[in-house]
Each structure stands twice: as structure tokens, then as C-alpha cells.
Structure 1
Amino acid sequence: MDLTGKIAILTGVSKGIGRATAEALLAHGAIVAGWGRTAPTGLRHERFHFFACDVRDEVAVQEAYVNTRRELGEEIHVLVNNAGLGISGEVDGFSSDDWKLMFDTNVHGLFYCTKAVLAQMKKQQLGHIINICSIAGTTGIEKMSGYCATKFAVRGFSQSLYKEVRADGIKVTCLYPGSTETNFFDEIPGTAANASMMQPQDIAATIIYALQTPFNFHLVDIEMRPLQPKK
């Protein structure tokens, strides 16, 4: 897909992978609708538009979708489901509220946003949905059972969705990044972000690559890992 003039909705736009993806989309000519609870600091561009949205709230998602189409145009070409969070802890001491928070954000929010755009993408017979999953969606991780459970859900949703909508000209790509140097690790005890990890720009570049594939095929699952991780 040539991204010039295409409308891309991007959730979790304020920092990390979301911020880097917004900048990459803009660099390739897209019109970016950034959805999030917080606007990215200092990101000012004539083709960037911020819409306040808590993806955990389906009504808020619907409002952001209506506002996006009213301000930017009826067609929606790209959705990047990036919003998410991780909370660590052993199962027997894990907060039920934290468990619900992760599922509301990582799974339910992704579903609400995807559901919002599908009718228009089917009408167009064109669209691309990118779901940011994690290596945690492919293997269990000690003291990260809740986060892994949400990402396994994203994996299953993505693999089912692509089979459901491929006949409508809609691509679905699920990315599984390994360790990436973002603020994700701020709340994970015993793990600190470091320069040997992948960079947010690496994930953003892969998203652009997937979006620019020719119409006749799409990349379904992409696993990414740092080459020389810090021991």
C-alpha cells in the first residue's frame, strides 16, 4: 500500500512504539489519527491529529472513530492496535484489578478498535490491521502470567481475524517483538531497559514494511528479537 494520503488510526500514540510508529507513518505521507489518553509531547505535524480516547471504554472508542472520520474523511486504511500494558506478579498474590486492567486494555480495547473500523474497510475492500503482540504471546514467562494470557488472546484473535476478512481485501498482521527499549520495563521488577534491546524505531520500520507489501499478499505473523541481548 502506498501510504501517501492514507488515513491511519494508531492507538497508544504518546510514547515508545506508538510514538515511533506515528513518526514513521508521517514520514511516509500518511495522515495519522493518534488515539490515546495522553497526547505525544512535541509531536506537531500538519498530518497528525490527536483524539483523546481510552480504548478500555467502547463508547470512547466509538466517539473517537466518529470524530476521526468527520475530521479526516470517511475512509480508514490502517489501524495499528498498539495500546497495551504489562504488570508482573505471582498468580497467588496477583491483584484481580490489575488482571482486569490488562485484559481491558490489551484485549478488549483491541477488539473495540478493530470492530469499529471493519465495516468501512469491508466497504472499501481495502485495509490493513496491525496488532502489536509480544513474544509473551508465544511462550509463558514466569511472574508474567496475566500479561502472557492477554497476548496469547491477541495472537488467537489475530490469526482468526485474518482468515475472516482476507476475502474482503483486508490484511491482518500480528507482530511479536522481543525486548524493546521502552518504558514498558519501568514497572517490571528486576528488568531494566537497555541499549542492547531493539529500539521502538525498529518495530515502526517493520510496521511500515508490512503496510507497503503488494496487494496480493500479506505478512500474517512477524517475530522480532534483538540480535545480541545483554546477558
Structure 2
Amino acid sequence: MKLKGKVVLVTGASSGFGEQICYEAAKEGAIVIVCARRIQLIGAVKECCMEYSQQPAYAYQMDVTNPEQVDHVLARIEDEVGAIDVLVNNAGYGLFEDFVNTSFEEIRNMFEVNVLGLMYITKRVAVKMIEQGSGHVINVASIAGKMATPKSSIYSATKFAVLGFSNSIRLELKSFNIHVTTVNPGPMETNFFDKADPEEVYLSKVQPFLTEPAFLARKIVKIIGKPRREINKPLIMAAAAKAYVLFPRVGDYLAGGIFNKK
């Protein structure tokens, strides 16, 4: 029960992967803070967390793209809960569309959610973690941030940015006893695809590669407090991403062929 009594904040936690991370942290006795835009859903997640942890749990409506709201929520958390020990940046979304057909408004919005919002809340929380002398930041990126495929240009670009950002702050925060871990999932059967793939064309083609959200959430919770650099699942896609770097021509073949299911 290494997490017993530790405060874990999860963004994008109203459903799907973020919800499962909340539950797995709660099962380890953590005090879970559920944050998401959909206020109608976060209350139920909070109640489940309290049942699992037998600890208090909290729910706050938060849009990571709104700095004023982030500041307000973090101030409330500091007053009502206390110091944040673990920050899980899970908020984000994707859209599978050809680049030339993607509106610039959509491009800007995806970067604001997946990158700039993540950076802003990380900066605010990291300052407090430095003061307390410990902490763990977990950024949910994607295998798409290692190997881009057609119709994921903007989503991949945002996740490449998250990887680069995480790799840098990992080194910057190491001396303050703050760990930074990047999680790079492949496809998971969550509501992510409600927007990214509404017709379920992609989802139906990648069934053999799907990762169970609860399984990956357990993996994340197990490494909290440890200097783990990355978690990459499924292994076959992680291996393909390595091949993409080591053998670029083969990588393009894989990305544009075998792993291009959109």
C-alpha cells in the first residue's frame, strides 16, 4: 500500500482510461482527485474511488485549456486536499483525418488540449512538487508519438511534442526527486474513438492490438514512485516503433502498410 494516503490527480478522468487509472490508484489506498470537463460524470467516479480506497476522494470540473480555471481548481485542491503527490496528465483526444482536410481550428484545439494544457498544469504542479521535495508526473502520450501513420498527422504531432517535453523535464526535475514517466499506449477500446473513429472502421481492424485499459492502468499505478522512463503497450507496436527509428525505410513500410488501419 505504498500509495495509501498519497494524493493522485488525474485529468481526463470522467471515463475510459483516466477513469481506470483513478480506480487502480484508489485500490492502492490513494486519495484520488478526479478532474475532467464533464461534470455530470466525475461525481460517480469519485464515489467509486471512495469505495475502493476507503479514503476521501474529490472531483473538480477542469478544462485544461483554460489557465484561469486550472489555477482556480489547483488553489481549491491546495486548500481542501493538500499537496499533490502524483499528477497523471491523461486529458487529450485525437481525430483521424487527412491533414489537408483538417480545419486549422481543429488543429489549434488539439494542440491546446494535448500539449499546451498538459504543459500548463504540469508547470503549476511541478513548482509545488519542487517545494515539497518529491513527486511523480505521468504523461499519457501514444505509440503514435513514436510512429506516425496516415490520417493521424495532427494527433501524432501533439504526442511527439508530449514525448519531447517529457524527456526534457525528466532530466530537469530529477535532482528534485521528481520522477517523470511517459505512457505510450496503442489502441484501447475507450470513448477516445467516439471522436477519432466514429464509424469504428479503425477499431474493427485493430482488435488484435487492443490493450485493456484496466490492465494498462494497473501497470501505471505499479510504477508510481519509481524512476520508470516509459511504459509502451502493446509490445508489438513498441517494437515496430523501434524499427521505425532504426530502419526508416522499413518503418515507413510498416507505418503506411501493416499498421495503417485507418
- TM-score, scaled to structure 2: 0.81
Check conservation: 1:7, 1:32, Cα contact below 8 A.
yes
The one-letter amino acid of 1:139's match is M
Counterpart secondary structure, 2:44: coil
The one-letter amino acid of 1:160's match is S
Q: Which has the higher contact order (CA 8 A, sep 6+)?
A: 1
**Residue in structure 1 matched with residue 173 of structure 2 by the alignment:** 165
The correspondence for 1:206, drawn from 216, 219, 225, is 219
> Percent sequence identity over matched residues?
35
Cα distance in 2 for partners of 1:163, 1:42 equals 37
Cα distance in 1 for partners of 2:236, 2:62 equals 35
Shift of residue 186, structure 1, vs aligned partner:
2.2
Cα distance in 2 for partners of 1:198, 1:102 equals 23
**Residue in structure 1 matched with residue 60 of structure 2 by the alignment:** 51
Segment drifting more, 203-212 vs 18-27: 203-212
The correspondence for 1:191, drawn from 174, 188, 202, is 202
Gaps of 5+ in 1: none
Residues 186-205 of structure 1 deviation map (CA, whole Å, 9 limit, x = unaligned): 23252126764111102211
Segment drifting more, 178-187 vs 192-201: 192-201
Shift of residue 41, structure 1, vs aligned partner:
6.0
Residues 99-154 of structure 1 deviation map (CA, whole Å, 9 limit, x = unaligned): 11110100011001101111211111110000000001101110110000000000
Shift of residue 227, structure 1, vs aligned partner:
6.7
Change (3 A) 1:206 1:136: same
Cα distance in 2 for partners of 1:69, 1:28 equals 22
**Residue in structure 1 matched with residue 13 of structure 2 by the alignment:** 13
Shift of residue 68, structure 1, vs aligned partner:
0.8
The one-letter amino acid of 2:160's match is F
CA RMSD of aligned residues (A): 2.0
Shift of residue 2, structure 1, vs aligned partner:
1.8
The one-letter amino acid of 2:21's match is T
Cα distance in 2 for partners of 1:226, 1:185 equals 21
- TM-score, scaled to structure 1: 0.91
Check conservation: 2:10, 2:34, Cα contact below 8 A.
yes
Gaps of 5+ in 2: 238-260
Q: Which structure has the larger Rg over C-alpha atoms?
A: 2
**Residue in structure 2 matched with residue 24 of structure 1 by the alignment:** 24
How does 1:74-223 map onto structure 2 within 5 Å? 75-187=83-195, 188=197, 189=199, 190-192=201-203, 196=208, 197-213=210-226, 218-223=227-232
Counterpart secondary structure, 1:40: helix
Shift of residue 212, structure 1, vs aligned partner:
4.6
Counterpart secondary structure, 1:141: coil
Check conservation: 1:198, 1:226, Cα contact below 8 A.
no
Shift of residue 173, structure 1, vs aligned partner:
0.1
Residues 48-95 of structure 1 deviation map (CA, whole Å, 9 limit, x = unaligned): 21011100111111111111111101x210000000000121111111
**Residue in structure 2 matched with residue 40 of structure 1 by the alignment:** 42
Aligned length: 225
The one-letter amino acid of 1:95's match is S
Cα distance in 2 for partners of 1:2, 1:135 equals 29
Change (3 A) 1:13 1:164: same
Poorly superposed stretches of 4+, deviation over 4 Å? 193-196
Cα distance in 1 for partners of 2:123, 2:9 equals 13
